[in-house]
Amino acid sequence: VLELVKALFVRMTPNLSGWTEALESFLNDRGYKLATKDNLRRRFSTAYHWYLVLTITVAEHVANLVSCRTRPLNVEDGSVSDHERVQPSEYLRVQCPLCFGGNDWRRTLRSVDVIVCIDACFTQKRSRNARDDVTQDPPNPTQTNFISEFDVKAMEAHVEACRNANGTRKRSRVLAADGDGYENGMKIPISVLDACGDSFIAANEKREKASTRYFADTGLMAMLCHHDRVL
C-alpha cells in the first residue's frame, strides 16, 4: 500500500489527508469504523514518512556498495590526472548518462550544462522544525543544497542596483476626471490593469507567500539538464 501511494503521488499532487479520508470512508461503509478522528491520517502519515526514509537509505546503501571500489577524486591531490578532474561526478552520470556519461560529455565550452528553474508558485516549501532542535530523521542523501540567507541578500542587492542603474521608464498615463484613465496604446482602464496585477500573489513582493512560522524556506529552485532530468 505504501508503494502504491508513493507511485500515485509521483503522478499527482501529494495529499495524504485526502487519501486517508477516502480510505476511512471506504472502511466505514463496510462496517470498519475507527474510534478516533484523524487517527488513521496521523498513523499513515508517520508510516509513509519512515517508508520514504527507508527507501532512500536502502538506495544509498546499495549505491555505496556498488561504488565502494571507486576512490573519491580530490582536486588538490596531485596524483589525479587532468582527464579525471574534468569528468562529471558519479551523481551526475547516474542522473543523466546522456549528458554526463560519455568521455566527450562536453563537446564545446559554450554548451549549457544545467538549466536553473525557479518555482514562482511557491508551492514547494521546506518545513521548519517545530521544536527548533535536531530532527530524528537520518541525513537525507539526496543532492539538495540550500543557499544561505547571506548569498540571497547579496544577490537581491545586486539586482536592485542593476535596476536602479538602468532606470526603467513607466508608461505615461492619461488620467480622466474621476481619477481613472488609460495608458498610451491600451484600451483597458488603469484600474483594471492594477487589479489584475495585484491578483497575482507570486508577482507581489509585498505579500507573504507562505507562513515563515511553519516553513523555513518558501521558494525552491530546481536544476535540469538538456533532457529535463532533475539534477
pLDDT tens, residue by residue, 206-229: 655 556 666 666 666 677 887 888
Tell the burial category of 197 from Cβ atoms under 10 Å away from its Cβ (0-12, 13-18, 19+). Answer: exposed
Q: How far apart are CA 210 and CA 125, in angstroms?
A: 8
Q: Please tell me the number of Cα atoms within 13 Å of 205 on its side-chain side.
A: 1
pLDDT tens, residue by residue, 133-165: 555 666 655 566 677 888 888 988 898 888 776
pTM of the model: 0.49
Task: Count Cβ atoms below 10 Å from residue 177 Cβ, excluding itself.
Answer: 6
pLDDT tens, residue by residue, 85-97: 567 877 788 888 8
Q: Which cell numbers in the block locate residue 89? A: 561526478
Per-domain residue ranges for the chain?
1-68, 108-128+139-164+178-230
Read off the pLDDT band of 32 (50, 70, 90).
Answer: confident
Q: Which cell numbers in the block locate residue 21? A: 479520508
Strands 181-183 and 115-118: unpaired
Strands 173-175 and 115-118: unpaired
Tell the burial category of 92 from Cβ atoms under 10 Å away from its Cβ (0-12, 13-18, 19+). Answer: buried
Q: How far apart are CA 205 and CA 226, in angstroms?
A: 31
